[in-house]
């Protein structure tokens, strides 16, 4: 088994730097588009055979060192009781935003076996089909990120409704965060028990917070989630998008790996994160639209800067973009493997 | 004259911390809405008497320590030859995005007296009407930020077209940046000559760049702009939005003041910026939707953290939001004045 990824998560010695790409199963790949043309996005997430199929595509085509479950960070939000739709232009749209006590009360803490068994089924298929070729990563949105979707009812520009609740009604906001946190813990524990060999918490909207609010209001729920997950014996990755102002806080999350976006210098991030966590990242996804020589230069720059980290998993700083040329994603993976070998 | 703002820009001793708010003339104020209801946004920018009128409103109503010219960062882009419209929902829409050599060649380096004399006229009226009560700040978008609008044709999610040009056609991208830089230098120099007592460069989209690209590709144009402006004897403020990954670079800009957004801790920012520049910022605009006691707590937190800075101008970390209660903006200004007095 290629366990380079798991070793790097734990800070163990590796022969080369492992690499995977956030959203590596996706629209930029014609093999994915073929599957997707037969079903809508949410049906794809909920059909284990198809979800497993697209999960496996980048493992073969790109040669990455980990597979990540094909799903969406909002799947548990739907299971909590909100209507979920995906619109091609607007992205996710959730029914009736939750902004009152009655709204929070109505949300349930779902049982994964009951309402999200398709995810567990997908994981089981994947573990069989992967035959231990590479490890399988499970994932969920982090508590704060899911809270923003629940309160805004979708994505947002200023996240004003979410912050309003945070400032105007901190008690209600905590109630909501508690429910979300319990949901995520149950959901990811079930994923691990079904076979996920690592889990990633996506805090896609962490970076819209001041460090003040992040530390006092949000971070306790991150720590609570990760502490519970660490009862299972798999690495936890905490991806903090737009992390440059938050690293000294995030490093205390209890996660094995901090995933970072591209807007922070890798050398500075490694220094600020210290020697107790590994780091994952952080190439700007847009670099994959440039020439191959430039991609290689940037890969080498990041590899060099991450050399003193406890462990490094190469990744993009955000999800791969839909229009990315596949050959450039392959070039990136090859460059990581080539230039990181001792 | 209340020159507290100018003194803080230069790092001179002040009796209290000066404060102004980005977008302090704006929709959140009913007096502004009254004026705006009679004309569209662009006409308001281009009618000196009206632009001067709304510029003065927050000086009286909020009690801020500086006035800022009412205008838009894209005014010089229109003068370069692009069609400019504002749509209530979508924000600015520019005609025909510039992505080819022919497109770049067609852009002109405008003469402010010829095509933007309304700005100079507004400044002259303001200096008369302000009677030196508080200083007047002029402004422009920074080179990179204007480039994104010119290449994308408006705002953007991933700024992919801009980054594509940067990576795929660096020669063409430089040509465009040179033209924009020359435009901004001429435009801000004219504003200063007309009476602006400080100028702010808004790099609203600096924070979408990796530090690698920011330093190598963008920052030379920032330095060039500021170097030229420093021939005039007024403070230059460089506002770097989403700055947390960029401060060590930005501090070398040559600006007197670095404006920072709310996603970085003020104490850390002051430490990273060092003793050669003053700092401006950095309250999350959403805090103004919370209770007064919380606003006061956050003001005190930032004031305390900025105490070791060379100089501090209090501000929001971004423009004030349209729905902000005016009384909370006033409470913020009062809190800054009250808690910063020695």
The domain ranges of chain A are: 4-340
Whether residue B206 lies within 8 A of chain A, CB to CB, comes out as no
CB A184 within 8 A of CB A143: yes
Whether residue A10 lies within 8 A of chain B, CB to CB, comes out as no
Nearest CB partner across the interface for B164, out of A262, A265, A289: A289
CA–CA distance, B176 with B169 (Å, rounded to integer): 11
Nearest CB partner across the interface for B160, out of A242, A245, A286: A286
| Long-range contacts (CB closer than 8 Å, 24 or more residues apart) made by A291-298 | A291/B167, A291/B168, A292/A328, A292/A331, A294/B167, A295/A328, A295/A331, A295/A332, A295/A335, A296/A331, A296/A335, A296/A339, A298/B212
Token digits of residue B231: 């021939």
Q: Model confidence over A73-99: pLDDT tens digits?
A: 999 999 999 999 998 777 899 999 999
| Long-range contacts (CB closer than 8 Å, 24 or more residues apart) made by B131-135 | B132/B1, B133/B1, B133/B2, B133/B59, B134/B1, B134/B2, B134/B5, B134/B59, B134/B64, B134/B65, B134/B66, B134/B67, B135/B1, B135/B2, B135/B3, B135/B5, B135/B6, B135/B66, B135/B67, B135/B197, B135/B198
Q: How far is CA B4 from CA A322, B66, B133, in A?
A: 50, 9, 11
Catalytic residues of A: 23, 27, 36, 72, 149
Residues of A in contact with B163 (CB under 8 A): 284, 286-287, 289
CA–CA distance, A321 with A203 (Å, rounded to integer): 18
Domain topology for A4-340: TIM Barrel (3.20.20)
Phi, psi of A39 (to 5 degrees): -145, 160
**Three-state DSSP state, B87:** strand
CA–CA distance, B26 with B33 (Å, rounded to integer): 8
Element (H, E) at B93: strand B91-94
Predicted local distance difference test score (pLDDT) of residue A86: 93
CA–CA distance, A278 with A90 (Å, rounded to integer): 35
Cβ–Cβ of B160/A289 closer than 8 Å? yes
CA–CA distance, A74 with A150 (Å, rounded to integer): 9
Nearest CB partner across the interface for A321, out of B158, B264, B301: B158
CA–CA distance, B146 with B76 (Å, rounded to integer): 9
Catalytic residue among B28, B32, B149, B221: B149
Cβ–Cβ of A317/B210 closer than 8 Å? yes
Residue A96 gets the label, from left (phi > 0), alpha (psi -120 to 50) or beta, of left
Whether residue B157 lies within 8 A of chain A, CB to CB, comes out as no
CB A148 within 8 A of CB A206: no
Nearest CB partner across the interface for B321, out of A158, A265, A285: A158
Catalytic residue among B10, B27, B263, B292: B27
Rounded-to-10 torsion of CA B237, B242, B245, B246:
-20
Relative to beta strand B67-68, strand B84-87 is unpaired
Mean pLDDT of A288-305: 98
Q: Is the pLDDT of residue A1 over 90?
A: no
Nearest-CA distance from A84 to chain B in Å? 22
Evaluate if pTM is beyond 0.95: yes
Nearest CB partner across the interface for A210, out of B160, B262, B290: B262
Q: Model confidence over B258-278: pLDDT tens digits?
A: 999 999 999 999 999 999 999
Relative to beta strand B84-87, strand B91-94 is antiparallel
Q: How far is CA A290 from CA B143, B166, B170, B186, B250, in A?
A: 22, 9, 10, 33, 26
CB A2 within 8 A of CB A65: yes
Q: How far is CA B129 from CA A309, B116, B330, in A?
A: 59, 21, 22
Which residues of chain B, if any, have pLDDT below 50?
none
**Three-state DSSP state, B141:** strand
Q: Does the annotation count B72 as an active-site position?
A: yes
Q: Does the annotation count B263 as an active-site position?
A: no
Q: Which of B251, B156, B209 lies closest to A244 in space, CA to CA?
A: B209
Predicted local distance difference test score (pLDDT) of residue B295: 98
Q: Average pLDDT of chain A?
A: 97
How large is the ipTM?
Answer: 0.96
Residues of B in contact with A167 (CB under 8 A): 286-287, 289-291, 294
Residues of B in contact with A242 (CB under 8 A): 242, 244, 263
Nearest CB partner across the interface for B289, out of A160, A264, A290: A160
pLDDT level of residue A224 (50, 70, 90 thresholds): very high
Residues of B in contact with A284 (CB under 8 A): 163, 209-210, 213
CA–CA distance, B132 with B1 (Å, rounded to integer): 5
Whether residue A220 lies within 8 A of chain B, CB to CB, comes out as no
Whether residue B319 lies within 8 A of chain A, CB to CB, comes out as no
Cβ–Cβ of A209/B286 closer than 8 Å? no
Predicted local distance difference test score (pLDDT) of residue A91: 85
CB B317 within 8 A of CB B21: no
Residues of B in contact with A286 (CB under 8 A): 158-160, 163-164, 167
Q: Is the pLDDT of residue A11 over 90?
A: yes
Residues 225-244 on A with a CB inside 8 Å of B are: 242, 244
Give the distance, in angstroms, between the CA of residue A230 and the centroid of all CA atoms in the same chain.
Answer: 17
Nearest-CA distance from B91 to chain A in Å? 12
Predicted local distance difference test score (pLDDT) of residue A89: 75
Element (H, E) at B212: helix B211-213
Whether residue A296 lies within 8 A of chain B, CB to CB, comes out as no
Token digits of residue B41: 């946004």
**Number of inter-chain CB pairs under 8 A, A vs B:** 103
Whether residue A177 lies within 8 A of chain B, CB to CB, comes out as no
Nearest CB partner across the interface for A287, out of B167, B263, B284: B167
Q: Which of A267, A228, A227, A231 lies closest to A247 in space, CA to CA?
A: A267
Selected for mutation to probe chain A from B165, B167, B321 (highest A CB count within 10 Å) is: B167
Whether residue A1 lies within 8 A of chain B, CB to CB, comes out as no
Beta bridge partners of A67: A136
Whether residue A289 lies within 8 A of chain B, CB to CB, comes out as yes
């Amino acid at each position: 088994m290629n366990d380079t990824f798991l070793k790097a998560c734990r800070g163990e010695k590796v022969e080369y730097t492992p690499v995977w790409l956030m959203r590596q199963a996706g629209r930029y790949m014609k093999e994915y588009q073929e599957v997707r043309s037969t079903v809508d996005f949410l049906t794809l997430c909920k059909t284990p055979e198809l979800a497993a199929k697209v999960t496996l595509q980048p493992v073969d085509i790109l040669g990455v060192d980990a597979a990540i479950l094909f799903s969406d960070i909002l799947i548990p939000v739907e299971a909590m009781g909100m209507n979920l739709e995906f619109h091609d232009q607007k992205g996710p749209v959730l029914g009736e935003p939750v902004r009152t006590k009655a709204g929070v009360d109505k949300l349930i803490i779902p049982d994964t076996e009951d309402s999200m068994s398709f995810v567990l089924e997908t994981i089981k298929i994947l573990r069989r089909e992967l035959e231990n070729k590479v490890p399988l990563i499970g994932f969920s949105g982090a508590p704060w990120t899911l809270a923003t979707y629940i309160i805004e009812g979708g994505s947002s520009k200023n996240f004003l409704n979410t912050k309003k609740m945070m400032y105007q009604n901190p008690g209600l906001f905590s109630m909501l965060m508690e429910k979300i946190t319990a949901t995520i813990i149950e959901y990811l524990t079930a994923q691990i028990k079904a076979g996920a060999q690592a889990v990633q918490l996506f805090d896609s909207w962490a970076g819209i917070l001041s460090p003040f609010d992040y530390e006092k209001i949000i971070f306790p729920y991150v720590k609570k989630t990760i502490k519970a997950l660490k009862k299972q014996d798999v690495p936890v990755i905490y991806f903090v998008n737009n992390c440059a102002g938050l690293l000294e806080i995030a490093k205390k999350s209890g996660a094995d790996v901090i995933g970072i976006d591209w807007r922070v210098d890798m050398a500075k991030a490694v220094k600020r994160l210290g020697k107790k966590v590994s780091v994952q990242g952080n190439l700007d996804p847009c670099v994959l639209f440039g020439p191959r020589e430039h991609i290689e230069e940037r890969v080498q720059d990041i590899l060099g800067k991450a050399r003193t980290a406890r462990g490094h998993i190469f990744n993009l700083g955000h999800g791969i973009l839909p229009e990315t040329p596949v050959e450039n994603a392959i070039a990136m993976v090859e460059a990581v493997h080539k230039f990181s070998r001792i």
